[in-house]
Structure 1
């Protein structure tokens, strides 16, 4: 590590002493750090000179992890603060020039990952001593807004120097029309700006703005605002809707948050304007005439593939008047977008991401990475962000030219939508692995749109079960799943084989179907799959 390493990094991780008699690699040059990756399975897939985060790795597994790290030429391995790597692992790491680091006391994995990300970007982060503030990922203004909201117990917006809203916290329902208009229009109303900005920008501490009334008679709730600056350079402002003046401790926390926000706003303003980025990505994904120009401006080359991220309600429109729900989903998509970009780039995969048409899309380069590596990175990402709200990640087929991005986007849409409709434990997949499932989802949509349901023998069996409380469909499904093996099928239903044979005979009688006919078996199994019974 170099002397210019950010303080947060050096306080988040501590080196593990070499065991007695172990020596570092002779004449070894300092190891660079090119990427950060999280352990996912027994085999590491990461670029050389990566920092490997052993999240959840126990003491007994450290030696195997170090062997993998040596194999892929990782720069360092990070283990939990309670983990004892053992003499063999420490000696192996020292022999090959791989450093073993341990989380410092009181440091979470998120904080360590954030620190390493800052190191990779060559950015020096301020340290506030307030854990929640220090753990906000670089440039994640939505996460910062939520943290500030929790610290001062008030809904928050973060704006740039031109009063454009960059991010907002939860609890929108507690605010007034000024806040709502600010979020929807991405800028505060002009008359409110004129009456409040001078006081905010001229003060080094948070300024309380009492309740007021607009010229058209609408009430404006009290606010506290603070400028975010570095010396004379203004980066933006933080606004909070409050019931009254902040207590001294909350004012102190907001002041400290503004100091930390300078770093995040600096990161954000160093990135491309969000609306411009969304327009350029849309041009590629929609196959517009300016797609080649968009690819050039984004630095996107081929081959590459499109990634689509959906949540459980991505394509469900908000009920009329459900502004809070709309804003919550908007904030969630923006945070997912930032997190996905950071994760792919942290894995060494060049990528650009944007929120487009109620979904998050990323374009990942295949120039130096295989599709399997991108799939593995997306699986890691899903494991990190999809623990509370289900997140479905679909990968399109590779785009070999700019014209292919539209097709790859359509594939990614199909893959993500199929994963969401099918359910089950799988949340990440390429469209090439979902051919049959996607066809069923598409066909089911057409059937439902035409208000059509089960028919023929399958419909008769469903009706009989519904009217008589019978289990003929269950019997049929068990028999089909057992490939006609009555003993196995009877066991799955918990009945005697003779009882099962009788029920199977009733299936043929009530359904008016011949189960020895392969075409009729196929039709029954097809409808059973299509309508999700059994």
Structure 2
């Protein structure tokens, strides 16, 4: 039984609070002699085998834990008062479990975690735990020590007293809301904020109220600091200074780039990432450095959450967004959607020229989708995104009385290079049940834009971004064609024969008729679209009439040709041209 009271301040979150923030079932409380209200100051790894080898016992994990081990625990970096100790490699039923518990108790640990095996704890261990002061916990099978360490540390950081979180705005953020963090810190420092991981990749950035300087633009578009810039900062010693100090490091302005302040975000000795503040159309606030120091402390639970839970949580949230867009309103909470708020759905698609799935345009489009996802998060609190192949879905919340919440996001899409991304916005849905209809409308807009791009004459620029109310006639035609397509493929006639001939022989009768119809039967305009002489087009139209009976002068044939050629354009080149039935 311990003979002294550990000299520590009874402050900090309780063991109960921390356990309440991790996954249920990850850890089990076996014995808690002082209850679970004891304060916790840290979460650290303890490898008893290493400790004993250092003592020179040579008996490995089976050796006893002498007073020297306790002194090592109390005096070393891993022996801060009130830690939760994770005893790596020690099973609760093993002989050394009692030694580890006693050493942890002498060190004033709040709890010690052992691995639970097939057998339960020995009676001697339970008896010793009941007489001591350290809670005995077990880690359930299937949980790795790294995962347990990360989640406990994240829970500890998130449970820190409110004063440690800095401003009330930062403290009130949803855990892991890096975009909200960036916007809040931007308001504090009076500049633009970028949050980066230790590899200089962009995790989030604040909304852009002014035109960014070239470096910020390059960093955001590439989603990471350009490699040449990383090399430059490393060779100049800037990164060495940044990672080795807990203070703000200044990067002076030069002829090209605005002044920057940077600070590392740390959890103990571990660097989780960094905050970068850049002058955003005006000088940084006078107290920007102090605000950034406060923000770095407040950022710890958010970056810890991102590191430990972020990727898995993001995948789960994306799945919930997709389920919600398909009509599962019960997925709203997991998707991060407020049930009583109107939303509009925006769909953006990386555009690819047909038959070139690996083209540079696709790669550029995917990169722009990533930027749009970041921009959506920075654009407005409450925006949620989900990826699906070459498409990005964005749910944009509407402000009070706002008719078109997606306008700014579409403007961002309009600024990207032509033929990279197509983006469409559906109408605002008043409730969750209206989101699938908004999604379908947005997807229709993208289909309309895709057809516009595919049917345009060479060199002609067409819009690649639109809202649903801008394309209602074309969207309605697409809906009609969707219904007509099964019936059309079961029929036969002049247009079918012409399409099949083109597919079999590589002729261009269908293209010629399409251009003629699109030009409102103006031979000169259609010839210019096809980049051929008008007489060439007249010859092709005459042959289409002679060979297949496709005569655009006949209103009925003209209607059938328009329907059939639109449907034929949906089928990839080289696809089987056989009809159904």
**TM-score, length-scaled by structure 1:** 0.43
**TM-score, length-scaled by structure 2:** 0.40
